[in-house]
Structure 1
Amino acid sequence: MSQLLNQLYTTRWYISKLIDDLEKGNAFDKKSGFTAEIKKELNTAVTLMEGFAPAKDTKKPLLWYPNAVIPNFRQKTKGKYKKNYPKGIIVHWIWAPQVGGKENAEFWSKWASEQGYTFFTLGNDGTVVQSFPLDEWGSHAGESYWPNIGSSVSEHFVGIEIVCEGKIQKFADGKFGNERKTDTGKITRTYVDQSQVRTINNNTDNIAKGYYQMYTPQQEEALIKLILWLKQNNPDVFNLDLVLGHDEVAGPSGLGLVNSNYKNTWRKTDPGGSLSMSMPQFRALLKDKYSKL
């Protein structure tokens, strides 16, 4: 830096002297080499400026989402991401009643810590719960695969679980919901209001046909904001093309490439029709929004 400044001062002196002579009407001898000396000094200054590299920004990516609720417990992680940051995400659903807001999101985050899983949790009101640092990965995707990534997708992608029933069934009485078996073996039903049901008539893109409880508008808005922040926080590592559905990495377009059992079926169907668009459409939306930030 000091060398560049000294050169600029020298160049300024030569140019000032030339201007002074011209203003006084003094003639100068072209053969004296004065103008050639000015050109030389200018070229030297330009060369130094082109080679001058400003100090690199040493700001490190944040490890905690500023808008997240940070509980007093931590989910278990298994190691560091290769670049200390996830390359992308996997969108999930919890397969649980879509109630409770912040309290329910914290409940399922705590449940995950007890089961050995690691993921963001989004409540029905858009609350985001984070209980692990972003430079560490943990289990959330199970048996999965993605081209150029391989089978251990949890080691590369962070999980985002959204509190939602996800794929549901239509009962004989015309109502929608899910059935679960209690610890005592009793079957219980959770019902979903028909206004929250989305019907997918045919397999398309990443989505398996069937009935789904939709994510709330608050959940989708919070999901988009979180993903855009993850990209802004470390744009050189996080890739919007690697914002994937669990139904992609554990379905025909992912796992089906290496496991013939899933060439035409899904091991996991989240987010499926719970998201208001297909995952390719969702990635296009994210890229458009990111380009306008």
Structure 2
Amino acid sequence: KMLSTKGNKPAGIVIHHTATYNLNSTVNYFKKNVVDVQFVLGHDGKIIQMVPCNKTAAHAGKSEWNGKKWLNNSYIGIEVVNIGWLKKKGNKFYDGYKRLWKGEVRERKAEGFKYWEPFTAAQEKELLELCVWLVKEYDIPIENIAAHFEVSPGRKNDPAGGLSMSFDQFRNSVRSRVFQT
């Protein structure tokens, strides 16, 4: 049984990275476990909706943003398939599971780490489009779009360095698309 969000209208959006490798295994994991989210976004830009936008999903945990606490009840969660932070040892990179990383690496100091798997161009494009649509569809204030590290500071670091821009720049990109004439 899914709980409805207060008033059945989402108040905001929290963006995460999955710390996983691919869309299918992520979706299967979420289906089998307590974690769930409204949307999961694959490397190729494919979006899977797992929970209706007016239903509560367990994605933000202990969180607070713009005066609201425990955002699961009122914020839409978007998980971007991405391994997240990477550690450099010598000239090699390793993910959080201590596996050798052979993919692209973005160097950007953010949330205590210096190296990250970058979001793909398709992920950034579709994430922007999805956020623009959600803002328009549910009249969500732009300032209520947040990164998981912003709503759970000191506890979470996602999606910090995955985006090619800061989170303020991402919000500004959404704003400019929403208010285009």
Does TM-score exceed 0.5, indicating one fold? yes
1:157 paired to 2:75? yes
Structure 2 residue aligned with 1:254: none
| Structure with larger Rg | 1
Structure 2 residue aligned with 1:96: 20
1:199 aligns with one of 104, 107, 113: 107
Structure 2 residue aligned with 1:40: none
Structure 1 residue aligned with 2:94: 177
1:148 paired to 2:36? no
1:122 paired to 2:41? yes
Structure 2 residue aligned with 1:137: 56
Identify if the C-alpha distance between structure 1 residues 282 and 117 changes in structure 2 by more than 3 Å, giving closer, same or farther. Answer: same
Q: Secondary structure at the match of 1:273?
A: coil
Q: How does 1:1-293 map to 2 (within 5 A)?
A: 77=2, 79-97=3-21, 104-119=22-37, 120-150=39-69, 152-172=70-90, 174-180=91-97, 189-193=99-103, 196-201=104-109, 207-235=111-139, 238-251=140-153, 266-292=154-180
Q: Which runs of 4+ in 1 moved over 3 A?
A: none
Report how many aligned residue pairs link the two structures: 180
Cα offset, 1:273, TM superposition: 0.9
Say whether the 8 Å CA contact 1:91–1:245 is kept in structure 2. yes
Q: Which has the higher helix share?
A: 1
Which amino acid is 1:292 matched to? Q
Say whether the 8 Å CA contact 1:90–1:158 is kept in structure 2. yes
Aligned residues with identical type, % of pairs:
30
Identify if the C-alpha distance between structure 1 residues 215 and 89 changes in structure 2 by more than 3 Å, giving closer, same or farther. Answer: same
Structure 2 gap ranges (5+):
none
TM-score (normalizing by structure 2): 0.91
After superposition, the C-alpha distances for 1:236-288 in whole angstroms (9 at most, x for unaligned) are xx22211100010111xxxxxxxxxxxxxx21111111011111111111101
Structure 2: distance between partners of 1:118 and 1:175: 33
Indicate the RMSD between aligned Cα atoms, in angstroms.
1.7
Structure 2: distance between partners of 1:115 and 1:179: 20
Q: Secondary structure at the match of 2:68?
A: coil
Q: Which has the higher strand share?
A: 2
Cα offset, 1:179, TM superposition: 4.7
TM-score (normalizing by structure 1): 0.58
Q: Secondary structure at the match of 1:80?
A: coil
Q: Secondary structure at the match of 1:161?
A: strand
Structure 1: distance between partners of 2:117 and 2:156: 15
Structure 2 residue aligned with 1:21: none
Structure 1: distance between partners of 2:96 and 2:15: 23
Structure 1 gap ranges (5+):
1-75, 98-103, 181-187, 252-265
Identify if the C-alpha distance between structure 1 residues 209 and 108 changes in structure 2 by more than 3 Å, giving closer, same or farther. Answer: closer
Say whether the 8 Å CA contact 1:214–1:276 is kept in structure 2. yes
Say whether the 8 Å CA contact 2:85–2:96 is kept in structure 1. no
